[in-house]
Amino acid sequence: MTYKNLDTSTAFKTLGALEASDLRQVLNPERIKTYQVKASDTLMYNYAAMPIDEHHLSVLQQLSDELQLTQKYQALVDGNVMNTGENRLVLHHLTRGQVGKTVEADGEDKGAFYREQLSRIKTFSDAVRSGTIVGSTGKRFTTVVQIGIGGSDLGPRAIYLALKGWCTREGIEQLNAQFISNVDPDDAQAVIEQLDLERTLFILVSKSGTTLETLTNRDLVIEAIKKSGITGIDPSAHMVAVTSKSSPLASSSSVLDAFFIDDYIGGRYSSTSAVGAVILSLAYGFETVQLFLEGAHQADLAAQSPKISENAALLDALLGVYLRNVLHYPSTAILPYSQALSRFPAHLQQLDMESNGKHVNRDGETLSYPTGPVIFGEPGTNGQHSFYQLLHQGTDIVPLQFIGFSVSQYEKDIQVEGSSSQEKLNANLVAQIVAFARGKDDTNPNKQFCGNRPSSLLYAKQLNPSVLGSLLAHYENKVMFQGFIWNLNSFDQEGVQLGKVLATKVLNGCEGDEVLESFIGLL
Amino acid sequence: MTYKNLDTSTAFKTLGALEASDLRQVLNPERIKTYQVKASDTLMYNYAAMPIDEHHLSVLQQLSDELQLTQKYQALVDGNVMNTGENRLVLHHLTRGQVGKTVEADGEDKGAFYREQLSRIKTFSDAVRSGTIVGSTGKRFTTVVQIGIGGSDLGPRAIYLALKGWCTREGIEQLNAQFISNVDPDDAQAVIEQLDLERTLFILVSKSGTTLETLTNRDLVIEAIKKSGITGIDPSAHMVAVTSKSSPLASSSSVLDAFFIDDYIGGRYSSTSAVGAVILSLAYGFETVQLFLEGAHQADLAAQSPKISENAALLDALLGVYLRNVLHYPSTAILPYSQALSRFPAHLQQLDMESNGKHVNRDGETLSYPTGPVIFGEPGTNGQHSFYQLLHQGTDIVPLQFIGFSVSQYEKDIQVEGSSSQEKLNANLVAQIVAFARGKDDTNPNKQFCGNRPSSLLYAKQLNPSVLGSLLAHYENKVMFQGFIWNLNSFDQEGVQLGKVLATKVLNGCEGDEVLESFIGLL
């Protein structure tokens, strides 16, 4: 296997010499039918509205082959050290199934370790949901609160919200879930004041067991429990930990139980590990989690094909690089036409920007081309009444990723003016794809739409646990492939360290740093 | 008054010739103390970490004078037709106080009209909150649900969330508020299933009274009320409208009452009109709304000074244009260190991108320079554990706008490891400003921070209604000044029309458009 920078690739040079297709011209039924690839059995990726044709596709395949993208993926799932900066394996795929070889590390079979944690999560959540495990005053738990930040918050929160409607319609008994993340004390307070503490189970999530925000919020919660005046309530019987085996929380008497992750699961890739599984299994039951994991595993398997015509994550990654490095578009919007995905763009923002927002390659050499774009987004149709103005008529082009579903989650809908709300929703989605691509001429320049705005569409029948798993894994794998293309390490986050060091310095009285002193003096 | 494109300005050419200050060098206590301007009596704008010095400031003042920015603002508040595309006045400032002359339009004094609506809102909300007006089955209202989209949703929602903690600590009796916006039927369903319909008052918000999403969701709600089986419940007694006097909702028997706005209040500028005031007044009482409006009015008055050393909105606008048009940064992140402002970036995203995401000037001529940037953001410290990696070490520079407060809203805090949560929060905020500006050298290139990342800081003692009003108006006025600088019309949104037209076409069976047919066939 060889690693090289994108700008040294022969295929990339060829790609740069091709003219982009003009989206005002190329859309037709045949293209819309054929320019798509399965991301899993349930999720489809359509790229008809991307500014490329067969020539580009052929060169993108060459680029993938030249950069050995799927071989690198195979090396990753086979347990090679792909997080070079931190000298770690990258094993989040293994939390949902076996894609490569059996991986041994830390003296154990890592697949077996993750399966064991899942099994323990099932036993524990079954016991809580059935009332075998109850709170310290004898009452059943009705609410679970995750205390975590970053990857311990954004992914699990997005997934919890994404499945609520589906689980409700399926009649699945639910525990209410809440999240505390910010060190801002108002975040914890706003949650705590709504809780029936006797019936609340807290899930403390920190891989290291030392995350400042998380431990501080844990202490705020313990303080609130102690001050509640409830006779006999014991905070430690209302708290479990998700952490690494070596962390101070792992065997602490201050928690009821602990579930384990390890150093090979990055925070932003941890939604399918215990970090996501504990809260989802408590809230919706273990079977829902299993469906979710199976969907993710399916997408992981689909991402193994070296052919871009069979590998949606790979093709999505390559097209993204075409937009970023050939057409020079600096940002991408994620636009789910599903209110259930309201926080999914925030999760993808972390996943993508924290993974590929890097300026050095995997060997630490400065890169001379742009890497990860700015990612943002809100659900449609809300976004249409907000920032779409700029997307349609602004001076910059922003590539778009639409997500859509045929059927709503609750399946409670009405006909108004001859169509259901779901039909209106999808009519809008389709209308936007076409409006962005084709534009519109008008003698009034204010009503002129330049068009030629690229987009893609991920779609499925309904947002259920399996589809959500596929969607999540599709993006994780897309980001991974882009990291390989840019020849960087998508699995560390050294960029968060300097802020931590300086924050500690401020809390220590600034240690003579007059600039810090002056700024903190303002607040 | 003359209107001209930015690239024809003499001062702009001078500005482009100045070298940007190197933020790794310039920060010092004197600069941090002096590089700031009041945005109102309670809100301060600090720009010490912007890449400029006295030379730039002097040229920015020239630019402001040359482009007559504050004269244009005065013309706007005096009632000139500043929304040229739609031939309308722009009067949102008047909803919170008199900044310019008395404005007559539609045969009435518009200031008096807005005040009358406020007075009616006070009377109505007092009656609901005191129990004088009750639901159709005789029960007091405990929940209010706003049905609206875009400006009828994002601003009011952001403000509602921003004041919840403050009102709780002040002991203000609260009605719970919810929002339904998306035409996705799951959005309405998720809200409806939590409601006690007998105790719920719906607020239907649509200026035209014809917004597809809003009317559809109204019908979904009416259907749910009818199907509830509650004896004697009458949907029309559970619904008020916020609309224009000429709309079909204005005198409909299907609503209990109606409160009015007019064509001179754009959706994204409507938070201080009845669009925001009805729900806020119902949820938190009219006095809270008054404080909020007074804070906004203060910032409007401060924005009148022609001197950038006294006008924070004007300076913020000019510095933003420097970053966009001289330094060529295509996006800006809004980073409030306050969980209460969790949805404030989404509101500013609409405010800014829908106002200034335009490629033609106010006369309809194509512009040859970039206008409104992409706006995104999440609260700190959450963002630090997410996309800050790219902000620190990515290949592109993203300018940052921090927002911070000395004191939390609930004022319930604890000491952990020698500091309170609020102290930790602000230590992080300050650390980030300095980390972005100064960077850090390291022999390990992976731990290298280039620095020279510009940011500004808006700060106040505490996020209370008055400060929030100032913050909102500061951004509205900043966006307005930037529109003047780019010589465009910030007050229309023609870019949303094409999608609407095509969506209707899809709902009509695509009218023979094979591309639309093919795409809708996928879903």
Q: What pLDDT digit, counting tens, does each position of A166-178 carry?
A: 999 999 999 999 9
Catalytic one among B108, B500, B511, B517?
A: B500
Indicate the burial class of B480 (C-beta count within 10 angstroms; 0-12, 13-18, 19 or more).
buried
pLDDT, one tens digit per residue, over A190-245 is: 999 999 999 999 999 999 998 888 999 999 999 999 999 999 999 999 999 999 99
Q: Which residues of B touch A518 (CB under 8 A)?
A: 28-29, 32-33
Q: Which residues of A touch B189 (CB under 8 A)?
A: 165, 408, 410, 412
pLDDT, one tens digit per residue, over B357-366 is: 999 999 999 9
B391 neighbors A357 (Cβ within 8 angstroms): yes
Q: Could you tell me how far CA B59 lies from the centroid of its own chain?
A: 29
Provide mean pLDDT across the span B192-204: 97
Task: Give the minimum alpha-carbon distance from B402 to chain A in angstroms, rounded to a whole number.
Answer: 12
- CB of A384 within 8 Å of a chain B CB? The answer is yes
- CB of B340 within 8 Å of a chain A CB? The answer is yes
- CB of A339 within 8 Å of a chain B CB? The answer is yes
Q: Which helix (H) or strand (E) holds B420?
A: strand B419-420
Indicate the burial class of A24 (C-beta count within 10 angstroms; 0-12, 13-18, 19 or more).
middle
pLDDT, one tens digit per residue, over B262-282 is: 999 999 999 999 999 999 999
Correct CATH for B6-91+293-492 of 3.40.50.300, 3.40.50.10860, 3.40.50.10490, 3.40.50.150: 3.40.50.10490
Catalytic one among B56, B198, B238, B354?
A: B354
Which positions of A are catalytic? 354, 385, 500
pLDDT band, residue B21 (cuts 50/70/90) = very high
Report d(CA B220, CA B147) in Å as an integer.
Answer: 11
What residues of chain A, 250 to 309, have a C-beta less than 8 Å from chain B? 267-268
- CB of A358 within 8 Å of a chain B CB? The answer is yes
Report d(CA B96, CA B72) in Å as an integer.
Answer: 19
Give the residue from A195, A255, A254, A257 showing the smallest Cα distance to A230. Answer: A195
pLDDT, one tens digit per residue, over A85-109 is: 899 999 999 999 999 999 999 999 9
Residue-by-residue DSSP string for A287-301: HHHHHHHHHHHHHHH
Q: Which residues of A touch B349 (CB under 8 A)?
A: 376, 378, 386-387
Q: Provide the residue ranges of all domains of chain A, joining segments of one domain with +.
A: 95-290, 493-523
B145 neighbors B238 (Cβ within 8 angstroms): no
Report d(CA A521, CA B44) in Å as an integer.
Answer: 13
Neighbours of B97 (CB within 10 A): 18
- CB of A523 within 8 Å of a chain B CB? The answer is yes
B398 neighbors A374 (Cβ within 8 angstroms): yes
Angstrom distances, CA of residue B18 to CA of A360, B401, B454, B469:
30, 23, 16, 36
Under an 8 A CB cutoff, do A389 and B150 touch? no
Stated length of chain A: 523
| CATH superfamily label, B92-291 | Glucose-6-phosphate isomerase like protein; domain 1 (3.40.50.10490)
CA torsion, ordered B67, B70, B75, B78, to nearest 10 deg: 180
Catalytic one among B54, B385, B412, B514?
A: B385
Q: Which residues of A touch B390 (CB under 8 A)?
A: 353-354, 356-357, 372, 374, 495
Task: Give the minimum alpha-carbon distance from B216 to chain A in angstroms, rounded to a whole number.
Answer: 6
* Predicted pLDDT at A481: 99
- CB of A428 within 8 Å of a chain B CB? The answer is yes
Percent of chain A predicted with pLDDT > 90: 98
- Is the ipTM reported for this complex over the cut 0.90? yes
3-state secondary structure of B176: strand
- CB of A248 within 8 Å of a chain B CB? The answer is no
Report d(CA B87, CA B264) in Å as an integer.
Answer: 10
* Predicted pLDDT at B29: 98
* Predicted pLDDT at A161: 98
- CB of B161 within 8 Å of a chain A CB? The answer is no
- CB of B415 within 8 Å of a chain A CB? The answer is no
Q: Which residues of A touch B321 (CB under 8 A)?
A: none
Q: Which residues of B touch A433 (CB under 8 A)?
A: 519
What tokens does B400 get?
A: 């940052």
* Predicted pLDDT at A252: 86
A358 neighbors A489 (Cβ within 8 angstroms): yes
Omega before residue A504 within 30° of 0, cis: no
Q: Which residues of A touch B497 (CB under 8 A)?
A: 447
Under an 8 A CB cutoff, do B371 and A394 touch? yes
Under an 8 A CB cutoff, do A150 and B382 touch? yes
Task: Give the minimum alpha-carbon distance from A512 to chain B in angstroms, rounded to a whole number.
Answer: 12
Under an 8 A CB cutoff, do A518 and B29 touch? yes
Under an 8 A CB cutoff, do B392 and A498 touch? yes
Strands B44-46 vs B455-460: parallel, antiparallel or unpaired: antiparallel
Stated length of chain B: 523
CB pairs under 8 A between A and B: 472
Under an 8 A CB cutoff, do B376 and A371 touch? no
Q: Which of B219, B408, B450 sits opposite A184 (nearest CB)?
A: B408
Q: Which of A372, A446, A514 sits opposite B390 (nearest CB)?
A: A372
* Predicted pLDDT at A378: 97
* Predicted pLDDT at B218: 96
Give the residue from B251, B228, B227, B231 showing the smallest Cα distance to B241. Answer: B251
pLDDT band, residue B252 (cuts 50/70/90) = confident
Provide mean pLDDT across the span B205-210: 93
What residues of chain B, 92 to 121, have a C-beta less than 8 Å from chain A? none
What residues of chain B, 319 to 338, have a C-beta less than 8 Å from chain A? 330-331, 337-338
At a CB cut-off of 8 Å and minimum separation 6, what does A119 contact?
Answer: none
- CATH for the stretch A95-290: 3.40.50.10490
Instruction: Collect the ranges in chain A with pLDDT lower than 50.
Output: none
Which of the 8 DSSP states describes residue B267?
G
Q: Which residues of A touch B339 (CB under 8 A)?
A: 182, 184, 186-187, 190
Report d(CA A251, CA A257) in Å as an integer.
Answer: 8
CA torsion, ordered B27, B32, B36, B41, to nearest 10 deg: 160
Neighbours of B277 (CB within 10 A): 29
Q: In chain A, which residue's Cα lies nearest the Cα of B518?
A: A29
Q: Which residues of A touch B181 (CB under 8 A)?
A: 382
pLDDT, one tens digit per residue, over B384-431 is: 999 999 999 999 999 999 999 999 999 999 999 999 999 999 999 999
* Predicted pLDDT at B108: 97
Q: In chain B, which residue's Cα lies nearest the Cα of A441?
A: B498
Under an 8 A CB cutoff, do B185 and A421 touch? yes
Report d(CA B11, CA A52) in Å as an integer.
Answer: 42
- CB of B447 within 8 Å of a chain A CB? The answer is yes
* Predicted pLDDT at B212: 86
At a CB cut-off of 8 Å and minimum separation 6, what does A265 contact?
Answer: A91, A92, A95, A207, A273, A275
Q: Could you tell me how far CA B14 lies from the centroid of its own chain?
A: 32
What tokens does A2 get?
A: 């060889």
- CB of B432 within 8 Å of a chain A CB? The answer is yes
* Predicted pLDDT at B257: 96
At a CB cut-off of 8 Å and minimum separation 6, what does A161 contact?
Answer: A340, A341, A342, A343
Please say if the pLDDT value at position B474 is more than 90.
yes
Q: Which residues of A touch B489 (CB under 8 A)?
A: 446
Task: Give the minimum alpha-carbon distance from A308 to chain B in angstroms, rounded to a whole number.
Answer: 21
Q: Which residues of B touch A398 (CB under 8 A)?
A: 374
A63 neighbors A326 (Cβ within 8 angstroms): no
For chain A, report the end-to-end CA distance as a whole number of angstroms: 53
* Predicted pLDDT at B251: 86
* Predicted pLDDT at B335: 98
Task: Give the minimum alpha-carbon distance from B245 to chain A in angstroms, rounded to a whole number.
Answer: 22
Under an 8 A CB cutoff, do B387 and A496 touch? no
Task: Give the minimum alpha-carbon distance from B392 to chain A in angstroms, rounded to a whole number.
Answer: 6
B213 neighbors B156 (Cβ within 8 angstroms): no
Q: Which residues of A touch B421 (CB under 8 A)?
A: 183-185, 188, 216-217, 220
Under an 8 A CB cutoff, do B386 and A353 touch? yes
- CB of B520 within 8 Å of a chain A CB? The answer is yes
Report d(CA A137, CA B391) in Å as an integer.
Answer: 47
Under an 8 A CB cutoff, do B499 and A213 touch? no
Query: Could you give phi then psi for residue B344, rounded to 5 degrees?
Result: -65, -40
Give the residue from A284, A78, A29 showing the smallest Cα distance to A165. Answer: A284
What residues of chain B, 46 to 75, have a C-beta less than 8 Å from chain A? 46, 48
Average pLDDT, chain B: 97
Report d(CA A139, CA A196) in Å as an integer.
Answer: 10
